[in-house]
Homo-oligomer: A and B are copies of this chain.
Amino acid sequence: MPRSHGSDIDKLIQLLAKLPGLGPRSARRSALQMLKKKDSVMVPLATALNDVAARVQICERCGNVDTHNPCHVCEDTRRDQTTLCVVEEVADLWALDRSETYKGLYHVLGGTLSALDGVGPDDLNVAGLINRAAGEGVVEVILALNATVDGQTTSHYLAERLADSGVRVTALAHGVPVGGELDYLDDGTLAAALRARSLV
């Protein structure tokens, strides 16, 4: 390999290339941009990474990732404490919360049941969900798992487990995505949208 820069810059590029969305080329571009903007980008980023790394925790109530424990969502008393929204991953929690239509609490499962990958109920935070649904004055559990085979299997399993708890168990609606064109949608989505049609 030619050496047009030092091995420490090489190491930085290799670390950047591990981030999702950054390949080797954009990792090099990022590194160069930071080398040029040392004080406005590079040093603040290093500081932010250190700050967050030192304090990041998994919220013991909902499974969110935050620098607080309980996390900002669980601590927010303005939120509806009677509704739990069950998601697969923290990314889903953040995505739902960005939409600003849901104002309740969350529960991060940590994945889906998967016979293929050997993921059973004990590998997910199912016990925590059952406990929370039973104990915290929860009225409704919204299952917001992905519309994949594994996600839907897990939804059915959770609905069964929650059946005795007395809470209302609901799931996200299936249908045509807003802005979606019928011609590009799969048959399953079209069938679901037709079945769930409503009066205008």
Contacts and interface: CB of A to CB of B under 8 A. Distances in A.
Interface of A: 2-6, 8-9, 11-12, 15-16, 18-23, 25-26, 28-30, 32-36, 38, 41-46, 48-53, 55-56, 64-68, 71-73, 76, 90-91, 93-94, 97-98, 100, 106
Given A4-B97, A22-B22, A46-B50, 14 more contacts: A2-B97, A4-B73, A4-B106, A5-B71, A6-B68, A11-B48, A12-B45, A18-B41, A35-B56, A38-B56, A45-B49, A46-B46, A46-B53, A50-B50
Contact of A91 (B22, B28, B90): B28
14 contacts: A2-B100, A5-B72, A8-B52, A12-B48, A15-B41, A15-B45, A20-B26, A20-B30, A21-B23, A21-B25, A34-B53, A35-B65, A43-B50, A49-B49
In the complex, the count of this chain's copies comes to: 2
A3 B49 contact: no
Contact of A4 (B32, B49, B94): B94
Contacts of A100: 2
